[in-house]
């Protein structure tokens, strides 16, 4: 992938844009439309019903407050005893509903993220986009961090925010009704002849209070989404730096590069600290508002209800009921104030998720050159079906390689061997129109031994069967392939799962990659300088094993110098070409 630092401008202009929210909704909303939609809707509807029950329990507790304090003011022991029993029932109900909400909410979060990650992996890995995006320079920074972490921060907070918003709306409706009916109107006497009646005055006070606090929060916290975006970029870059160090641990250790890597990682994490401190400063500014408005919320209704209580228009129980209702309405109205930080966190992650989704969608699904080789099995199938028989040929800049032929191209490091491989696999297209046509096998018919042999995580069995089904070859077949490439000693370790990529030497990794070729029996094989760690005798052994296992395969070997020339039908020099390579 492309390596880039988290610049000071990363996340610049990250304001809350409806476009991002709409794009994320279209993409992630497939969870409720595709496979598994029934479970998604069951979790969503179940969560909504539980939230309504939670509000009902909260309203019941509010009415209980009025009942309890009126009984307390009247010193009615019988009513107080009943209130205690009812209180126990309400609390038990609230606890049960709370357990249901937690279970349903977290299950929904896990399943939704699972769906999003699966769709992102489908896009990123399909048609080799993970490589093509990097090669073309169009890959967003740290895609692995976006898929692994940003998907979490784009789903979990959104579910929590959705729950909070639903509760805010429902509670607002329920408790505004209480403020309206219990609080009534307020008569403000300006003079003996002038009396102004303010209907539902506590409702108006609650709305005004919440609107002012919300406006201040939006004004002061406008820069928070950009700070969060820069923080996410810096965290991803720091994590990638540590992954890179671990993947190159041997080389760094041999070079004595520990102090140098420490400086690099220290500088990278310094950027993380700067981004976090910017968020801290934003949180400090927002705290001026939250800490100033929060403590006043339970006091404001008492101040406005006190005159009516003193005049005898309200009982003590009604005053406590109004105070509790005012708090609930204020929580609902100031929902944006209380959750602005979470909204900013969600927005930054949702935008990073959509950047990689959109980058993948903009890249065509198939960027390969025209296919010009087919296997003998394909020819037989076409003949049996009386269909036109395809011509098995591999054509590289006018050089034709027939089925079963072995051709070697050799050239120095500037001759374009790796470029040729990428052209043949469709991972890189010609930069100019004068590049000769390259015909190549279909992906399912071709296997490549790259310069750097890749060993995926897992058991030796998984590695040998990669990228196919780990169970498609028997133990005897796997052991036979290992024996033919000189790794017979590993046959007893098929199910062990150490870090094979670090445990095996370079030569052993190259032999293991060759064993995969023997097991898969492809119609075409490309060996891109992939046997450099083996001596000539070992190379001849690998070539002979390939001839025995896949005698009809076309084999193309690219190397710096001619190797085992007598094993090939043709050995040709590879010269640099202004538009790529030229044999």
The DSSP letter of residue 564 is S
Q: What is the predicted pLDDT for the residue at 376?
A: 41
Question: What is the domain extent for residue 430?
Answer: 373-582
Q: What is the predicted pLDDT for the residue at 9?
A: 43
Q: Are residues 378 and 350 in the same domain?
A: no
Q: Rounded to whole angstroms, how far apart are CA atoms 253 and 246?
A: 10
Does 13 reside within a domain?
no
Decide: 518 and 484 in contact? Cβ < 8 Å.
yes
Q: What is the predicted pLDDT for the residue at 17?
A: 77
Q: What is the predicted pLDDT for the residue at 113?
A: 94
Does 4 reside within a domain?
no
Q: What are phi and psi of 75, to 5 degrees?
A: 55, 40
Does 251 reside within a domain?
yes
Q: Are residues 262 and 340 in the same domain?
A: yes
Q: Are residues 315 and 349 in the same domain?
A: yes
Domain finish residue from 362, 397, 414: 362
Q: Are residues 278 and 388 in the same domain?
A: no
Let me know the angle formed at the C-alpha of 100 by 55 and 34, rounded to the nearest 5 degrees.
100
Q: What is the predicted pLDDT for the residue at 395?
A: 65
pTM of the model: 0.64
Domain finish residue from 309, 331, 362: 362
Decide: 292 and 132 in contact? Cβ < 8 Å.
no
Domain finish residue from 330, 362, 394: 362
Does 10 reside within a domain?
no
CA nearest to 17, candidates 352, 347, 361: 347
Q: Rounded to whole angstroms, how far apart are CA atoms 554 and 396?
A: 13
Q: What is the predicted pLDDT for the residue at 442?
A: 61
Residues 6 or more apart from 486 whose CB is under 8 A from it? 511, 538, 541
Does 64 reside within a domain?
yes
Does 2 reside within a domain?
no
Coil, strand or helix at 402: strand
Q: What are phi and psi of 154, to 5 degrees?
A: -95, -10
Q: Are residues 86 and 206 in the same domain?
A: yes
Q: Are residues 286 and 160 in the same domain?
A: yes
Q: What CATH number is attached to the domain comprising 407?
A: 3.40.50.300
- Residue 314 in tokens: 């309200």
Which helix (H) or strand (E) element contains residue 469?
none
Does 312 reside within a domain?
yes
Between helix 536-549 and helix 475-484 the angle, nearest 10°, is: 140
Q: What is the predicted pLDDT for the residue at 452?
A: 78
Q: Are residues 205 and 273 in the same domain?
A: yes
Q: Are residues 453 and 538 in the same domain?
A: yes
Q: What CATH number is attached to the domain comprising 310?
A: 1.20.1560.10
Which residues are paired to 559 by β-bridges? 410
Q: Are residues 82 and 176 in the same domain?
A: yes
Decide: 127 and 364 in contact? Cβ < 8 Å.
yes
Q: Are residues 389 and 354 in the same domain?
A: no
**pLDDT tens series, the chain, 583 aa:** 333 334 444 444 456 678 888 999 999 999 999 888 999 999 999 999 999 999 899 889 888 988 998 888 888 888 989 999 999 999 999 999 999 999 999 999 999 999 999 999 998 888 778 877 877 767 787 788 888 888 998 999 899 989 988 888 888 888 888 888 888 787 777 666 666 778 888 888 888 887 887 788 778 877 887 788 788 788 888 888 888 887 777 778 877 888 888 888 999 999 999 999 998 998 888 888 778 777 777 788 888 888 888 888 888 888 888 888 888 887 777 777 677 778 877 888 898 899 889 888 887 765 444 444 334 444 444 445 555 444 444 566 666 777 778 888 888 776 677 777 777 776 666 544 444 445 556 656 788 888 777 888 889 998 898 888 878 889 999 999 999 999 999 999 999 988 888 888 889 999 999 999 899 888 888 888 888 889 999 999 999 999 898 888 888 888 888 889 888 988 888 765 544 444 4
Q: What is the predicted pLDDT for the residue at 96?
A: 94
Q: Rounded to whole angstroms, how far apart are CA atoms 239 and 269?
A: 9
Domain count, the chain: 2
Does 8 reside within a domain?
no
Q: Are residues 486 and 542 in the same domain?
A: yes
- Residue 529 Ramachandran class (φ > 0 left, ψ -120 to 50 alpha, else beta): left
Q: Are residues 355 and 405 in the same domain?
A: no
């Amino acid at each position: 992938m492309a390596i880039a630092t988290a610049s000071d401008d990363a996340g610049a202009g990250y304001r809350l844009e409806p476009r991002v929210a709409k794009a994320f909704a279209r993409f992630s909303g497939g969870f409720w439309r595709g496979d598994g939609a029934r479970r998604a809707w069951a979790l969503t509807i179940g969560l909504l019903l539980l939230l309504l029950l939670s509000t009902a329990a909260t309203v019941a507790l509010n009415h209980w407050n009025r009942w309890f304090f009126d009984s307390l003011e009247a010193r009615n022991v019988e009513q107080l005893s009943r209130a205690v029993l009812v209180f126990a029932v309400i609390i038990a109900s609230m606890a049960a509903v709370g357990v249901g909400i937690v279970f349903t909410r977290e299950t929904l979060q896990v399943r939704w993220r699972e769906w999003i990650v699966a769709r992102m992996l489908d896009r990123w890995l399909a048609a080799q986009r993970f490589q093509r995006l990097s090669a073309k320079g169009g890959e967003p920074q740290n895609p692995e961090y976006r898929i692994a972490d940003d998907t979490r921060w784009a789903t979990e907070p959104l579910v929590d925010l959705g729950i909070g918003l639903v509760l805010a709306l429902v509670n607002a409706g329920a408790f505004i009704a209480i403020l309206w009916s219990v609080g009534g109107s307020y008569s403000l006497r300006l003079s003996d002849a002038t009396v102004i009646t303010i209907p539902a005055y506590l409702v108006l006070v609650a709305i005004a209070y919440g609107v002012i606090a919300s406006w201040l929060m939006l004004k002061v916290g406008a820069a928070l989404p950009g700070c969060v975006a820069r923080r996410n970029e810096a965290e991803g870059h720091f994590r990638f730096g540590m992954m890179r160090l671990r993947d190159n641990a041997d080389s760094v250790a041999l070079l004595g590069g520990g102090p140098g890597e420490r400086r690099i990682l220290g500088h990278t994490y310094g950027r993380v600290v700067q981004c976090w401190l910017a968020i801290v400063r934003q949180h400090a500014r927002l705290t001026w508002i939250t800490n100033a408005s929060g403590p006043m919320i339970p006091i404001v209704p008492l101040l406005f209800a006190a005159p009516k209580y003193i005049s005898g228009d309200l009982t003590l129980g009604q005053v406590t009921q109004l105070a509790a209702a005012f708090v609930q309405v204020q929580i609902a109205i100031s929902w944006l104030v209380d959750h602005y930080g979470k909204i900013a966190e969600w927005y930054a992650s949702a935008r990073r998720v959509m950047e990689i989704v959109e980058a993948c969608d903009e890249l065509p699904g198939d960027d390969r050159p025209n296919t010009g080789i087919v296997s003998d099995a394909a020819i037989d199938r076409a003949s049996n079906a009386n269909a036109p028989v395809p011509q098995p040929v591999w054509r590289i800049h006018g050089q034709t390689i027939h089925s079963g032929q072995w051709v070697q191209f050799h050239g120095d490091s500037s001759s374009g061997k790796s470029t040729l491989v990428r052209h043949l696999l469709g991972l890189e297209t010609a930069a100019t129109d004068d590049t000769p046509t390259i015909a190549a096998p279909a992906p399912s018919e071709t296997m490549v031994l790259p310069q750097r042999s890749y060993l995926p995580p897992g058991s030796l069995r998984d590695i040998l069967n990669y990228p196919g089904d780990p169970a498609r070859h028997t133990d005897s077949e796997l052991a036979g392939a290992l024996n033919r490439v000189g790794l017979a000693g590993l046959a007893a370790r098929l199910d062990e799962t150490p870090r094979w990529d670090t445990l095996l030497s370079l030569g052993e990794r190259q032999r293991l990659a060759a064993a995969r070729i023997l097991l898969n029996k492809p119609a075409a094989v490309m060996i891109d300088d992939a046997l450099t760690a083996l001596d000539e005798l070992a190379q001849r052994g690998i070539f002979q094993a390939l001839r025995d296992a896949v005698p009809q395969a076309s084999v193309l070997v690219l190397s710096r110098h001619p190797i085992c020339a007598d094993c090939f039908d043709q050995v040709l020099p590879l010269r640099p070409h202004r538009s790529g390579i030229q044999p």
